[in-house]
A = this chain, B = another copy of it.
């Protein structure tokens, strides 16, 4: 399989000095809950690794199993289960609180440790002479959610022993998580590749068409089993009330959901993936930038897609105008360029 076989349209251009300095190709699918394709740019049938963009789909069993309610998880904690957070103090505290509710601590986490993505929080940690723990990992909330799901599956035995290896594909926790991915996307996960994600759980290659379908289902609750539909609503509501927990200070997903509330759920993933659920339109969106690399391009591409789909006005429009046509400044704060979608959202090869 080679991405080069079908050059995708350019979805984002970086401008400097009046010329296009860099360009990002990618594919984009917009689909409704019946599977009807609203937009298909590029190859939306090639399986791609959705990475962290599908955390909300992976968190559905936490709620659908009843574990979230039994443990009394808050909006903030449920939002954190869907998050790639910045490791700010509020994120770390919420992850620790989830683990405490499950009767365990951070030593059960199998996501690995890294310095907080949020620069100020990383510097504060360094200033205190501390090192990061698994709680600072951007995936710690998702993993704490897996641990809480484990409480509904462990049969009342030795919880720590049961949880060991929960990141592995054949562990009961991960089997539930993968089943949720398969049910919501309608994609047989055995049909395509499986890789290992940054936090050691499996990532399954799924076509953009099916990812967008899953997000349309999350948006509308149609096409989901009743308990999954209720879980989707509960998670959407939690994230809309606590958008800071999904990303953090200054982060794209947080800024969008702080403005749009329940009207948009969106989530970035590594290697240039972005997915969104649009309840007011009944649509799901899935984007993969060919080059991956970092999130600058998929964020601009999603902002431009939201402009086209939502036709916003007032403060909604102002925010999307800013995010879809990013001003680039240098170390002196001087404007040196911009990052924006081509007119109409795409430029063909």
Contact = CB atoms under 8 A, between A and B. Distances in A.
A167 B192 CA distance: 53
Interface string A321-349: 00000000011111011000010000111
B21 A292 contact: yes
A7 B123 CA distance: 42
A3 B17 contact: no
Given A4-B23, A24-B293, A200-B330, 10 more contacts: A1-B19, A3-B20, A21-B48, A21-B271, A110-B332, A196-B330, A198-B336, A199-B330, A289-B291, A291-B297
Contact of A2 (B16, B20, B296): B20
Contact of A203 (B1, B2, B17): B17
Nearest to A129: B127
Nearest to A15: B195
Interface in A272-317: 272, 289-294, 296-297
Interface in A54-84: none
A190 to B, nearest CB: 13
Nearest to A12: B291
A257 interface: no
A91 interface: no
A9 B4 contact: yes
Given A126-B123, A200-B332, A291-B291, A195 B17 contact: yes
A104 interface: no
B330 A292 contact: no
A274 to B, nearest CB: 14
A14 interface: yes
B110 A198 contact: no
SS of A interface (majority): loop
A75 to B, nearest CB: 27
Nearest to A204: B17
B17 A193 contact: yes
A115 interface: yes
A113 interface: yes
Interface in A107-163: 110-115, 119, 122-124, 126-127, 129, 137
Interface of A: 1-4, 7, 9-10, 13-14, 16-25, 47-49, 110-115, 119, 122-124, 126-127, 129, 137, 192-200, 203, 205, 271-272, 289-294, 296-297, 330-334, 336-337, 342, 347-349
Contact of A271 (B14, B47, B291, B330): B14
Contacts of A197: 330, 336
A161 to B, nearest CB: 20
Nearest to A1: B19
Contact of A22 (B124, B127, B293): B293
Highest count of chain B CB atoms <10 Å: which of A25, A123, A331: A331
A198 B330 contact: yes
A216 to B, nearest CB: 24
Smallest CB-CB A-B distances: 8 pairs = A17-B195, A112-B331, A22-B292, A3-B23, A291-B291, A123-B126, A16-B195, A7-B7
Contacts of A271: 14, 21-22
